[in-house]
Protein backbone atom coordinates (compact mmCIF):
# COMPACT_ATOMS: atom_id res chain seq x y z
CA UNK A 1 0.00 0.00 0.00
CA UNK A 2 2.80 2.37 0.91
CA UNK A 3 4.53 1.86 -2.44
CA UNK A 4 1.32 2.56 -4.35
CA UNK A 5 0.63 5.69 -2.32
CA UNK A 6 4.22 6.86 -2.80
CA UNK A 7 4.04 6.20 -6.56
CA UNK A 8 0.87 8.24 -6.92
CA UNK A 9 2.27 11.06 -4.81
CA UNK A 10 5.56 11.18 -6.77
CA UNK A 11 3.84 11.04 -10.16
CA UNK A 12 3.78 14.24 -12.12
CA UNK A 13 0.00 14.52 -11.77
CA UNK A 14 -0.22 16.64 -8.63
CA UNK A 15 -2.36 14.10 -6.74
CA UNK A 16 -2.23 13.56 -2.98
CA UNK A 17 -3.53 10.11 -1.98
CA UNK A 18 -4.93 9.40 1.49
CA UNK A 19 -4.82 5.91 3.01
CA UNK A 20 -7.82 4.87 5.10
CA UNK A 21 -7.44 1.33 6.38
CA UNK A 22 -7.11 -0.88 3.31
CA UNK A 23 -8.33 1.80 0.89
CA UNK A 24 -6.36 4.47 -0.92
CA UNK A 25 -8.46 7.53 -1.73
CA UNK A 26 -7.20 9.94 -4.35
CA UNK A 27 -9.15 13.21 -4.29
CA UNK A 28 -9.13 14.74 -7.75
CA UNK A 29 -8.76 18.50 -7.88
CA UNK A 30 -11.29 20.54 -9.80
CA UNK A 31 -10.33 21.03 -13.43
CA UNK A 32 -9.48 24.69 -13.66
CA UNK A 33 -8.09 26.21 -16.83
CA UNK A 34 -4.60 26.09 -15.34
CA UNK A 35 -4.99 22.43 -14.37
CA UNK A 36 -6.24 21.61 -17.87
CA UNK A 37 -3.15 23.26 -19.36
CA UNK A 38 -0.94 21.23 -17.00
CA UNK A 39 -2.63 18.01 -18.11
CA UNK A 40 -2.10 18.95 -21.76
CA UNK A 41 1.60 19.48 -21.03
CA UNK A 42 1.77 16.02 -19.46
CA UNK A 43 0.06 14.51 -22.53
CA UNK A 44 2.59 16.22 -24.82
CA UNK A 45 5.49 15.01 -22.68
CA UNK A 46 4.23 11.41 -22.82
CA UNK A 47 3.64 11.71 -26.56
CA UNK A 48 7.22 12.84 -27.10
CA UNK A 49 8.45 9.84 -25.12
CA UNK A 50 6.30 7.69 -27.41
CA UNK A 51 7.80 9.29 -30.52
CA UNK A 52 11.29 8.66 -29.19
CA UNK A 53 10.41 5.00 -28.58
CA UNK A 54 9.02 4.64 -32.11
CA UNK A 55 12.18 6.18 -33.57
CA UNK A 56 14.35 3.90 -31.46
CA UNK A 57 12.43 0.89 -32.75
CA UNK A 58 12.99 2.15 -36.30
CA UNK A 59 16.72 2.48 -35.61
CA UNK A 60 16.86 -1.04 -34.18
CA UNK A 61 14.96 -2.34 -37.21
CA UNK A 62 17.38 -0.65 -39.59
CA UNK A 63 20.30 -2.25 -37.79
CA UNK A 64 18.66 -5.67 -38.12
CA UNK A 65 18.08 -5.09 -41.82
CA UNK A 66 21.70 -4.02 -42.39
CA UNK A 67 23.08 -7.01 -40.50
CA UNK A 68 20.93 -9.56 -42.32
CA UNK A 69 23.03 -11.83 -44.50
CA UNK A 70 22.11 -13.21 -47.95
CA UNK A 71 19.72 -10.37 -48.75
CA UNK A 72 20.17 -8.18 -51.81
CA UNK A 73 20.68 -4.43 -51.45
CA UNK A 74 17.38 -3.84 -53.26
CA UNK A 75 15.53 -5.96 -50.72
CA UNK A 76 17.28 -4.16 -47.86
CA UNK A 77 16.35 -0.78 -49.32
CA UNK A 78 12.74 -1.94 -49.82
CA UNK A 79 12.59 -3.20 -46.22
CA UNK A 80 13.96 0.13 -44.95
CA UNK A 81 11.33 2.00 -46.97
CA UNK A 82 8.59 -0.20 -45.50
CA UNK A 83 10.01 0.37 -42.02
CA UNK A 84 10.01 4.14 -42.58
CA UNK A 85 6.43 4.00 -43.88
CA UNK A 86 5.33 2.07 -40.79
CA UNK A 87 7.18 4.51 -38.52
CA UNK A 88 5.48 7.49 -40.19
CA UNK A 89 2.06 5.85 -39.82
CA UNK A 90 2.58 5.17 -36.11
CA UNK A 91 3.80 8.70 -35.41
CA UNK A 92 0.84 10.12 -37.35
CA UNK A 93 -1.52 7.91 -35.33
CA UNK A 94 0.14 9.08 -32.09
CA UNK A 95 -0.25 12.72 -33.14
CA UNK A 96 -3.94 12.15 -33.91
CA UNK A 97 -4.47 10.59 -30.48
CA UNK A 98 -2.68 13.52 -28.80
CA UNK A 99 -4.83 16.05 -30.68
CA UNK A 100 -8.01 14.22 -29.69
CA UNK A 101 -6.95 13.96 -26.04
CA UNK A 102 -5.94 17.63 -25.95
CA UNK A 103 -9.34 18.61 -27.36
CA UNK A 104 -11.05 16.39 -24.78
CA UNK A 105 -9.09 17.85 -21.87
CA UNK A 106 -9.64 21.47 -22.90
CA UNK A 107 -13.36 20.98 -23.51
CA UNK A 108 -15.34 22.69 -20.76
Q: What is the per-residue DSSP string for 59-91?
A: HHHHHHHHT-SS--HHHHHHHHHHHHHHHHHHH
Mean pLDDT of each 10-residue bin along the chain, 108 residues long: 87 83 86 90 96 97 92 94 97 97 91
Query: Phi, psi at residue 58, to the nearest 5°?
Result: -60, -45
Rg (the chain; Cα; Å): 21
Judge if 90 and 51 occupy the same domain.
yes
> What is the pLDDT at residue 57?
97
Judge if 55 and 90 occupy the same domain.
yes
Residue 71, domain CATH: 1.10.132.20
Q: Tell me which residue range forms the domain holding 10.
A: 1-29
Judge if 1 and 25 occupy the same domain.
yes
Contacts of 105 (CB under 8 A, 6+ apart): 36, 39, 40, 43
Amino acid sequence: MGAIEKGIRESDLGLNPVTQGGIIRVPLPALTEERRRDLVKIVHKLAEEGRVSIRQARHDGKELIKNTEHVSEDDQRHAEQQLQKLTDERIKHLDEMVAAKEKEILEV
